[in-house]
Every structure is written in structure tokens, then in C-alpha cells.
Amino acid sequence: QLPEKVVVKEVGPRDGLQNETQLIDTQNKIEWINMLSKTGLSYIEVTSFVHPKWIPQLADAADVLRSIKREHDITYAALVPNMRGLERALEVNIDEASVFMSASESHNQSNINKTIEDTYPVLQEVIEEALKENMTVRGYVSTVIACPIEGDIQPKKVLEVVDRLFSFGVTEISLGDTIGVGTPNEVEALLDVLLAKYEAEQFAMHFHDTRGTALANVVKSLEMGITKFDSSLGGLGGCPYAKGASGNVATEDLLYMFHRMGIQTGIDMDKLLQAALFIERQLGEPVKSKQMDIYRLG
């Protein structure tokens, strides 16, 4: 039985922009996020408090959070990699902090410069402090299907990381197919292991669409009880530390499918497409989504 409604979490301003080399003006980011706030979305990942040397595009994280017009029923989140990131986030008040690490040792190393074992105490401290500050904390686990360096990742390896993050107090874990390799049978094998121990509500799925399998994986996840999905407007994005990783599944394509399936999202397609038009003008090239292709045909 498929759910009647789902939550779509927009990660475009963070995951979408982090890989764009062309810097977008802070004012335009603010305007874009304000447009997104009017679409009916209930969750927006606004930016990232990582080292600006690694992700120059998001060096203006604090300015963006200070200036966006917040809607009271939207959760505004940001990535927080360590205590320095949390200190920066606390100055501008976010609703949810998202910590992140990888199920693969090599991707974790290249992404956050630490072994998996050394990452745990860093994230534990961030999670505990963020909870004290009345934020909620989301955990990301990357490379849950495969790693660009190590190849296939076993579900039990993902379970190990998931166990640790839940034990530190995260309320939700977003499972990232970082390089978009997964297929529905692999998603099923992963969720079989995780859902034997945890509830479906404790997870969100974060599919990159590198090989065009994201929507199929979303349907498989829906069938297994998952009701929260990350996506990026215009299919923007990718992980700079995973070669060949392209953007997340496009929010508008996800929305089209959900609405046609009779699954509510609370999001307005037309307003969403207007926001996609806005950001593609800033980027100076068409975004890659089926809905925008159709929209351009008029």
C-alpha cells in the first residue's frame, strides 16, 4: 500500500549549488530560497557550514541565513561538519543541523578528511551540542550503495554507521546514493537490513540521478514504506568529492510522479517551475529535468 502523502526535502540550495563552479550572488540565492519558501515545501536545506576553502560557493552561508524570509512552517536546515561549523550555524539560527559521513572509508577520507572511526566523536559532540540548543539533527550516510573508489558497499556496513548515528541522537537518517549507481534490487537489499531494526519514518532517501535510476529507486522505497525524499530543483548538484556524481533527482520530476500517482506533497508545481527558471537564469544554462524540458516547449 503506497502512502497518501510524502515529504519532499529540497536540498538544491546546498547540494545543488555546492558543485557549481560559477558563483551565484548572495542576493540571488536569497531571492531563490524565498521563492522556494512560497512553493509549499516544508523543508529546505539552505546552505552548508563546511570549510569555505573546500566549498567556496557556500562561503556566504551566514549571510544567506540572516537574510532569507522564513516561513514559520518550514524547517530551514544546513550542513554542519564539526564544532566550528556548529558555532557558525548558532550565530544565525537554523532549525536543523545535518551532520554527514560516509559508509565507505575512502569516500569519508576524501570528503571530510578523517577515518570513519575518527569521525564518530566529532559528530557525537556536534549532535549533543545541537540538541542542547534545541535544534533537531539529521544524519546523512553517503555511498550507501557504492563508493566511487571502493565499489559496492554492503548493507551491513551502512547499518554500522546508522547504528552509531542513531545512538548519538539524530532523529532521522538520510541515505545517500551519492554517485547514483543504485538500482531497485539494491535499494531493497539495503532497506531490508535497515528496516529489520528501525522504522521507515526514521529514514529519508537521497538519490542522485547519475544513471537515470533515481525515480525507480524512489518507487521501490515507497513500496517499502519510506515517505521522505530529498531532491534538488532542476536536478542540480553532486558531490565534489565523488567523481562523476551528478545532481539529485529533480524536485519537479519527483513531484510530477508523486502527483500522478495520487500521492500528495503540498507543493505547487507551477511555483516550483518558476523557481527553476529563476536559478537557471542565474546559472546561465538550462537545468536538467524532464519537467523543465516540457515547460520550455510551451
**Residues contacting 58, CB < 8 A, separation 6+:** 14, 17, 18, 47, 48, 50, 52
**Interaxial angle between packed helices 184-195 and 214-223, expressed in degrees from 0 to 180 and rounded to the nearest 10:** 40
- Binding residue for Mg ion, selected from 10, 12, 15, 101, defined by CB under 5 A: 15
Q: Name the nearest CA neighbour of 275 among 96, 44, 60, 70.
A: 44
Name the one range near ligand HMG by CB under 6 A: 27-35, 46-54, 125-133, 152-160: 46-54
Region 240-269 residues binding ligand HMG, contact defined as CB under 6 A: 241
Question: How near is the Cβ of 169 to ligand HMG at its closest, in Å?
Answer: 19
In DSSP terms, 229 is beta-bridged to 8, 205
Q: Name the nearest CA neighbour of 255 among 223, 226, 287, 232.
A: 232
Name the one range near ligand HMG by CB under 6 A: 27-35, 81-89, 190-198, 257-265: 81-89
290 binds, among Mg ion, ligand HMG, none (CB under 5 to 8 A by kind): none
Selecting among 8, 65, 146, 239, the annotated active-site residue is 239
Q: How far apart are CA 82 and CA 120, in angstroms?
A: 11
Q: Which of helix, strand or coil describes residue 248?
A: strand
User: Cell digits for 176?
Assistant: 545517500
Question: How near is the Cβ of 36 to ligand HMG at its closest, in Å?
Answer: 17
* Nearer residue to ligand HMG within complex by CB, 49 or 76: 49
Question: Would you put residue 129 in left (φ > 0), alpha (ψ -120 to 50) or beta?
Answer: alpha
Q: Does 177 bind Mg ion (CB under 5 A)?
A: no
- Binding residue for ligand HMG, selected from 55, 99, 147, 275, defined by CB under 6 A: 55
Q: Which residues bind ligand HMG (CB under 6 A)?
A: 15, 18, 48-51, 54-55, 79, 81-82, 84-85, 88, 100, 111-113, 140, 142, 176, 178, 206, 208, 239, 241
Q: Which residues bind Mg ion (CB under 5 A)?
A: 15
